[in-house]
Every structure is written in C-alpha cells, then in structure tokens.
Amino acid sequence: MATEHLIPADLWDKYEIKEWRNATGVLTTACPREWEDVVDVLRGFKLLASEIRVGGGNRSLISQRIDKPLYAKGWVEKKFETAIEVDKARIESPTHAVDCFKGGVAVEMEWNNKDPFFDRDLNNFRLLFDLRAIQVGILITRSWDLQAVFKRIGKGSSYGKPTTHHGKLWPKVEGGGGGGCPVLTFAIKPSLFVDDGEQAYLDLKKQQDDAKAAKAASEKARKKAGLPVEEDDEDEEA
C-alpha cells in the first residue's frame, strides 16, 4: 500500500509528489528527524523570478535554496568511499557525491540539468541502498507546468524537454533506475513562483557579475603564480 497519505497536505499545493517503494513510510518511521528537516525546507522554498532570469552556473541559486537550509540543519554533501574486494584484491568503485546527506537520507536537487543526470542520481541511490549506506533517496526537480512561467519571463528556451523535470524522471524510476531503493520525488509547481520585480533582478545580476569578475581575476593570478585552478563542478545548471 502506498504511503503518500503521510505527506503533509500543504505540500501537495506546492509540489507534484510521487513515491516509489513506500518512501514516505520509511522516512516518517525510520528517519523522522530528517523528514522533518526536509518538510521544513520544502515549506520555506520560493521560486523567485530574479533567480530564474539570472540563470545558473555550477550550482544555481534555485538549487542553493534547497541545499543551504539543509546544510544549516546539519546535512552535508557526502561522497561515499566504496570498493569491490575479490580474493583480497581491492578495486575502488567511487560513487557520485550526494548533494545533501544526513541519517541515512540522500537528497538530490536537479533544477535544470540534462536529463541523464536523473540516471546518475537514481543509480547512485540504488548502489548506496544496496550497500546499506542510505535508507531512502529524495529527488527534487521542477514540474513541466512551469514552462508557461519561463516563457512569460523570457526564459522558455533555457528549459527544454531534454532537461530535468518530473515528466522525464518518472519513466526512469518506474523502469527500475533506483533498484530497490525507496524514492520520493518533489516537483516545484507554478504556485511557488514569486515575481520579485525588475530591481531584484538587476541587483542580483550585478552581484553575479561582480562575483564572476572576482573569480576570473583570482584564477588569472593563480595561473600566473603556477598554482592549480579549481575546476568547475560538473553539476552546471542553466
């Protein structure tokens, strides 16, 4: 029997929600504190027009609206050290880092990446669940219904069908991408959109431009000094 009825009623107004293998039941019974954290962050989330318009980078401001509040609650980005051992021969088998991890719960946020990132996340959930490193995986993405919002603010072309949205995710879940791992998914709905005005966009754009200029100057100085330059994160979002 599905356990989606355990999800607070107010979240259904804000997100499309689906579960796989009774993920909500696992969260509420085995990981109640972590579930409380996630619910609290999801309740506080807002989708600001200014942050959509300025776009992404290595980690978009929209994704950070999930990550940072969880980090403040003690969650961490986590890369698990895994290996296969056969007849004392050890073969390293590293997993991809989980965006947010705490107490057996893994949370990934895919706002606007290419949809193969869903395959990577689900496979990671499968492997970590099989190794008993996690009990449940949560994936947060966007609803395709937001496309009308993107078009209205001139960003429709940045959010095409091949990118990460709920409609792309669930065929992969139902196809067994996460294996036996319980998975709970949330897709941001248009009801969370807030138009915070032109000035908010201009202020945010200036902040980003200043940050990019400072980073470029720092990298140039490091190269000149023969020092290594930090590589960009692969999770680049539009």
Segment among 141-145, 152-156, 159-163 with least mean pLDDT: 159-163
Look at residue 87 and tell me if it is in a domain.
yes
User: Does residue 177 fall inside a structural domain?
Assistant: yes
**pTM of the full predicted structure?**
0.91
Please report whether residue 227 resides in a domain. no
pLDDT for 91 beyond 80:
no
Q: Is pLDDT of 228 > 90?
A: no
Task: Please state the domain count of the chain.
Answer: 1
- Per-residue DSSP letters for the chain? ---GGGS-HHHHTTEEEEEESSHHHHHHHH-HHHHHHHHHHHHH--EEHHHHHH--BSS-HHHHHHHHHHHHTT-EEE----EEEETTEEEE-PPPPEEEEETTEEEEE-SSSBTHHHHHHHHHHHHHHHTTS-SEEEEEEE-GGGHHHHHHTT-GGGS-TTBS-HHHHHHHHHTTTTTT--EEEEEE-GGGEE---HHHHHHHHHHHHHHHHHHHHHHHHHHHTT---PPPPS--B-
Task: Find the CATH number of the domain harbouring 154.
Answer: 3.40.91.20
Q: Is residue 4 part of a domain?
A: no
Domain membership of residue 186 (yes or no) is yes
Higher pLDDT, 230 or 135: 135
pLDDT tens sequence across 162-203: 899 999 999 999 999 999 999 999 999 999 999 999 999 999
Domain annotation covers residue 84: yes
Q: Identify whether 214 is part of a domain.
A: no
Q: Give the residue numbers spanning the domain of 171.
A: 11-201
Determine, yes or no, domain membership for 170: yes
